[in-house]
Amino acid sequence: MTSQNTTIEFKKKIEQIKVLPTLPEVGRRLLALQENPESTIQELCDIIEFDPILTSQLLRHANSAFFSAAKTITSLHDAIMLIGFDSTLNLAVGLISAKSFVIPIKGPIGMRAFWLHAIYSASLMQVLANKVPSELKVKTGMAYLAGLLHNFGLVLLGHEFTYDFKNLNNALRDDPKTDLLAVEKAQLGFHHFQIGGWLMRKWGLPKEIMTTVFEHHNEYYQGDFSEYANLALIADRALFAYSIGDAESDEFPPRILEALQLSPEQVTEHCEKLMKKSERVNAMVDSIVENCN
């Protein structure tokens, strides 16, 4: 299939979507808050409390085994203090983004797998973002949010193209070595990162997020906000060694490491440290998935 035919097929599939879930108003207000360096915990509380389900999710998360709080957390303010302002804000954006989408919980690309990949990627990207030179101007909070949302195309795919998604999920379940991108191209004529990038653009999310969603499989991308897309690719490949995610391999492209001024040893070391916390990370994922669908 030529590039032109792929684009035409992609547009045809997109035209089949009659009603696209919109980013809830709470999500827009959270994104606006993220852009304000003087935002306060009370402002964050006021926005989140507007959505009772989101509030419940964050309280459940604060009381999960991930944090092992000394006492039961009953107020949103205390939950934010425990989780952290930036982490709460970015996690809330991720949770609210997925709120309107319904996909199967189970399977290699089901909702649990999505959140597992998202949380591990976001956590590793945040750590690595702290290690790149300051002149690259990579924001750790934005890196975390980009990690949470970079595979969101799979959520949209599962919500809008249930038959194709079921086939993909089953193919990956039956043979874990299945190349997701190759099967997507053969069955759909487009990839999850294309439809994901399209959704982020429709929602008006920050360009750092849009770029990461669309370019996180492209090891040759060097355009605007490439640092975030490159961090996502490196994080995904590091996690692929632990059978998490959909990366093509566990090899780190030298060009990307050079651009980010990271060494393979640094990436591997921080990934290993993250995996030592797997029980806590998995508990976090379980607390999130409880309210899915």
* pTM for this model (two decimals): 0.90
Closest CA to 151 of 212, 100, 224: 212
Angle at 286 between CA 176 and CA 35, to 5 degrees: 100
- Looking at residue 84, what DSSP letter applies? -
For the chain, domains (ranges, CATH) are 17-100 (no CATH), 103-293 (1.10.3210.10)
Question: How does pLDDT run along the chain (293 residues), one tens digit per residue?
Answer: 444 555 555 566 666 665 667 888 999 999 999 888 899 999 999 999 999 989 998 998 888 888 877 889 999 999 999 999 999 999 999 999 998 888 999 999 999 999 999 999 999 999 999 999 999 999 999 999 999 999 999 999 999 888 989 999 999 999 888 899 998 888 888 899 999 998 998 899 999 999 999 999 999 999 999 999 999 999 999 999 999 999 999 999 999 999 999 999 999 999 999 999 999 899 889 888 876 65
Q: Give the HSE-up count for residue 178: Cα atoms under 13 Å, Cβ half-sphere.
A: 17
How far apart are the C-alpha atoms of 158 and 161, rounded to whole Å? 6
Closest CA to 44 of 29, 56, 58, 57: 29
